[in-house]
Structure 1
């Protein structure tokens, strides 16, 4: 009887085991576990296309691209007198031949709260206040011994122009250039002297907030008069334009 019971028990266990094996998925048919490669994992994570922002553009940048780039010509033969009488009114540029010299034209334009000397047909500036673009300081102008504290700067210096195309101009063009209001600013005198004949590669206004206007003006003047830029100057102008709003 004990032997019969043992045999029956073993049979029951065998039947139950078979049933369990039938219900469970076969090891041969179970899908294999696939471990993704590093490349596949990175590809799955980086699903968005990275777009490169276009290089900023502006009228000044487009104009800069039109300027010829080459080296400086020699200073041989340069003389301030080759650009005509200083502050001549006899010019063809806008505002010329108005009965007032160019210096006073620029002072009236750039200063505020101006006082004009009576009997000068609204021309001669006796005093006024200047917000100096180069330093950002507010300066008082009073005609007299200290009037040189505010000077009229050629944004593109005459000597710089001479080395970059002005040698080939006729007398009238040089005179017009020297008196063109687009190329002139009333500024703090010592900064005008500090700049000298420098271009954008060697000098920029201390007030960084004005540099965008400054380099844009240089580019506009050089494009108008067909002046070229050196490679260093082009790089400096482009760099400053990249910082503009």
Structure 2
């Protein structure tokens, strides 16, 4: 075998080996080495393409319903403000009159409740595309007002509006030190409600979990 032929053979073998390594994911930045309960939950989520938006409306998820356990005249928004705020005071309509809130997405301190949005961790439209279209109205109402799971968070209005209905593959909190908690909360909600994730969403969540200490 001539030197030229031998060199070509060696190059082909090396190229093939590199391709196998690439295909296995060792060079893929989408692969996460994250471990722990959230990572285990993530692996158990069903991966599926995003569903249709046909028939979707925010009105299909009745929200900010009455929350008697939070006090007289309280609805879900007001209950979350009271839960997540520090030194919060309210009037007889259950509306916050003072307090300090820390945006879950930026860490920004906010003292005016009008600058705060109560965000659905998994947006209503995203939930619709990942399984909620098949739910009953009562199930969608429960999801939209869930104060047991980390589905409702007080955030700065700017972050909430930039997020819209995006998933973690296209939107993340601007503060990277918030990624770990954000991914864990997103996964918990999707796991609790048996919602699907897209392939890109799952990979992004894995990368965010890798930032956990």
Q: State the TM bucket, normalised to the shorter chain.
A: 0.7 to 0.9
Misfit runs of 4+, over 3 Å = 95-99
Q: 2 CA distance for matches of 1:58 and 1:116?
A: 39
5+ residue gaps, structure 2: 1-32
Q: Are residue 67 (structure 1) and residue 45 (structure 2) matched?
A: yes
- Equivalent position of 1:81 in the other structure: 59
- Equivalent position of 2:7 in the other structure: none
- Equivalent position of 1:167 in the other structure: 133
TM-score, structure 1 normalization: 0.69
Deviations 1:71-128 (A, max 9, x none): 01111110011112x301279xxx68986210011000111121211x34xx331221
3-state DSSP class of the match of 1:156?
Answer: coil
Tell me by how many angstroms 1:56 deviates.
4.5
Identify the structure with bigger relative contact order (alpha carbons < 8 Å, sequence gap 6+).
Answer: 2
Q: Are residue 235 (structure 1) and residue 203 (structure 2) matched?
A: yes
Q: 1 CA distance for matches of 2:188 and 2:47?
A: 15
Equivalent positions of 1:9-24 (< 5 A) are none
Matched residue count: 179
Instruction: Please point out which of 201, 204, 214 is paired with 2:182.
Output: 214
Q: Which has the larger radius of gyration?
A: 1
Deviations 1:142-185 (A, max 9, x none): 4xxxx1x2110011000000000000101111000001122010
5+ residue gaps, structure 1: 1-54
Name the Cα RMSD after superposition: 1.9
Q: 2 CA distance for matches of 1:127 and 1:71?
A: 44
- Equivalent position of 2:105 in the other structure: 134
- 2:124 and 2:165 in contact (8 A); partners too: yes
